[in-house]
Each structure stands twice: as structure tokens, then as C-alpha cells.
Amino acid sequence: MKAVEMLPAVDALKEDDASLMDALQAVSTPPELTLVALKSAYHLRGAARPGDHGNRLLASEQVETIVKVIQAFTIKNLPLSRLQIRTMAGQRFGVQVSEMWVRRLLKHNNKRVRTRTCKALADKHTGAQVVANVNNFCSQLKHVLDAHHVPPSAVLNFDETQVVVKGSNLSTQRVVSAKKERSNVASTRNSTFASSLSFVAADGSVFLSVYVLKAKFGEDDRSLINLTLEPALQASRRSWPRFFCWTDTGYPIAERFGQVVDLVAAERRVRNPSLPLLLFGDQCSTHMSTETLQRALLLYVFLFFLVANASHVLQPLNAAPFGCFHWSLRVYNEQ
């Protein structure tokens, strides 16, 4: 128990005509609480906060106002210079401050006026809207779960990531059409990354993965090989299905993502034809096209896009499935 919490008992004993030392000795029975600490808390109770020093140029409220203005400009990516802060103090409060005074102000309030803190404040300003969006998201999800039974294996999360090759450049096999000397598509051999779209279930299993490679296409778009989606060779029978495709940018486009949704729906019909699929992803423009959403609903696939600026709420939900994913990935790599 803290010393401050025992002060009401001291006051009650003093009302019974007990001296201060007798009251303190009667109350300080716990061994962890000393008589000196209890006496110090008694005398410091109700002490007034120290006021501003007489040599201060601005009061505490005025300094707080300047700090708030600096934060507001930093949030909008327009940080104020020292000269602008001096001018603001002179125009607003009629006090001329020196550049050294501004430096001491910024050093003393460094944690409050730095860019990272101001950006965090900017995110908190949208907190009410984020809470409303999360509640709307949860209500829509509850409506779907009340109408359909979806096991954890049918709840998928897809993240668009990048596969980076270090040490040596990423090189892919060129696809050459028949009766043509020049290849239809040639991979850029100086490219060191590729986009990866992985579908991971809530139980930790990997549904499938799609790799998107960057390529330069020729004049003729006809080929005997499908350049949109091709199955990759499996390392073992236990490994999950992998597919790859090419785009001009190396990132999934709306047309390719629609084909990926068709691929996921086809894989669902093979594994669990009677169960729907819940797909959770980020709010990306290539994922939220109207044609893709309509196509997914017809295939009994429900797409849910996570609420923006809600990673601090949703991040703990990724711990369990991604822990299983890393464990299974390590097991597959050892094989």
C-alpha cells in the first residue's frame, strides 16, 4: 500500500486528539512502509505546483500554445523554421525571443515536436472514424457468419509482399513462342525482386501462393504458353500449390487479381466444394474492382477488406496463424 493511500487513516486518528507522531506510528504497520515516507507524504499533500520562474519570457500556457502550433504544421508536412517560431511568438504574445531560446524550446520538447510523434497524433485524430469503420466491418462480418458456417480452414488472409533476392540477381526462364525467333516475353535479369501473393488460412495452413514477375512483352501477344497464370513445380507432395505470372510492372493488376480469385475458387471446389471462402485483404485499388467483387460472389467467395489505420487492432489476430505458417514453412524447407 502506498503512503498517500494511508493518509485518511492519519486524519481520522488526529480527529480523536492523537498527535501527529502517534498517528503516523499507529498507521505505519506494514513492514514495507517506513515512518519517514509516511511523514513526507503527509507534509507534501496539497502542496502547490511550482509556478513559472520570474525570468521566463513566456508563461507555461503560451509555451504550450507554441508547441501545439509546431505540431500542427509538422503534421501537414510543413515544419516551421526557427525564424518563423520567433516571428510567431512576437506577433502572438508581443515578446521578442532569441534563436537560442527557440533552440532550448525545441530541445526541451523534442519528444513532442519530432516528426514521428506528430504523425502518430495525426493518426489519432482519425480515431473516431476508425472505430466507426471497425464496428461497421464487424457487423457485416457477423451477418455473413450468422448465415454461413465457415471453418478456420476456409478463412484466408492474402497479403501482397515482395520476394527479394540478395547476393545474385533474380533470373527467370524466358518463354518463347513456336515459330518465332524472338521471345514474346523476356524477364528483366537486373531485377532483384518479385511480388508474392500468399493465401494463408486461419488454422495456419497455406492455401496457395502466386508469384508476379516483371517482364517486357513483345509486339505479338500470342503464345502457346499461358502467360497469365502457370503452375510452378512442386518441391514435394506436401507443399502447397504455387503459380506464377508476368506483368509489365511486377505488381498484380486488377485483371490478374480477378484471375487469381478464379484460381482460388477453383481450388476451393476441389478441396471443399460445399463450403464458402472468406478472403481478408488490404484496401488496394487493384483488389477492389467491381468486376472482381461480382465474380467472387458468383463463385461463393466473400471478400472483406480490412479497415484502414486499424493495424494496432488487427495485428494481434495475425500472431497465431502466422506462427503456424512459419513453423510449417521451416518444416517444408528442411524437406
| pLDDT tens for each residue of the chain, 335 residues long | 565 566 667 677 666 666 666 766 666 665 555 555 656 665 555 544 455 555 678 888 888 889 888 888 887 777 788 888 999 899 988 889 998 999 988 888 887 887 766 665 555 555 567 777 878 888 888 888 888 888 888 888 877 766 655 555 544 444 444 444 444 445 545 555 567 778 888 877 788 888 877 766 666 655 544 556 777 777 677 778 888 777 766 666 677 777 888 888 888 888 877 788 888 877 777 777 777 777 778 888 888 887 776 655 555 555 555 556 566 666 665 55
Pair (185, 325) in one structural domain: yes
Pair (115, 135) in one structural domain: no
Pair (117, 234) in one structural domain: no
Pair (119, 138) in one structural domain: no
**Residue 59, C-beta contacts closer than 8 angstroms, at least 6 positions apart:** 52
In a domain, 134, yes or no: yes
Task: Give the containing element (helix H, strand E) for 123.
Answer: helix 115-125
In a domain, 29, yes or no: yes
Question: How many domains does the chain divide into?
Answer: 3
Pair (327, 202) in one structural domain: yes
In a domain, 54, yes or no: no
Pair (159, 307) in one structural domain: yes
In a domain, 175, yes or no: yes
Pair (68, 34) in one structural domain: no
Pair (311, 258) in one structural domain: yes
Pair (232, 142) in one structural domain: yes
274 lies in which domain range? Answer: 127-334
**CB neighbours (10 Å) of residue 181?**
6
**CB neighbours (10 Å) of residue 120?**
10
In a domain, 218, yes or no: yes
Q: Closest Cα to residue 73, out of 128, 113, 124?
A: 113
Burial of 241 (0-12, 13-18, 19+ CB in 10 A): middle
Euclidean distance between CA atoms 35 and 39, whole angstroms: 6
Pair (133, 275) in one structural domain: yes
pLDDT (0 to 100) of residue 47 = 44
Pair (116, 199) in one structural domain: no
Pair (132, 246) in one structural domain: yes
Q: Whole-prediction pTM value?
A: 0.48
Our CA angle for 310, 314, 315, nearest 5°, is: 110
In a domain, 272, yes or no: yes
Q: Give the residue from 94, 125, 156 where a domain finishes.
A: 125
Q: Closest Cα to residue 324, out of 209, 152, 165, 149?
A: 152
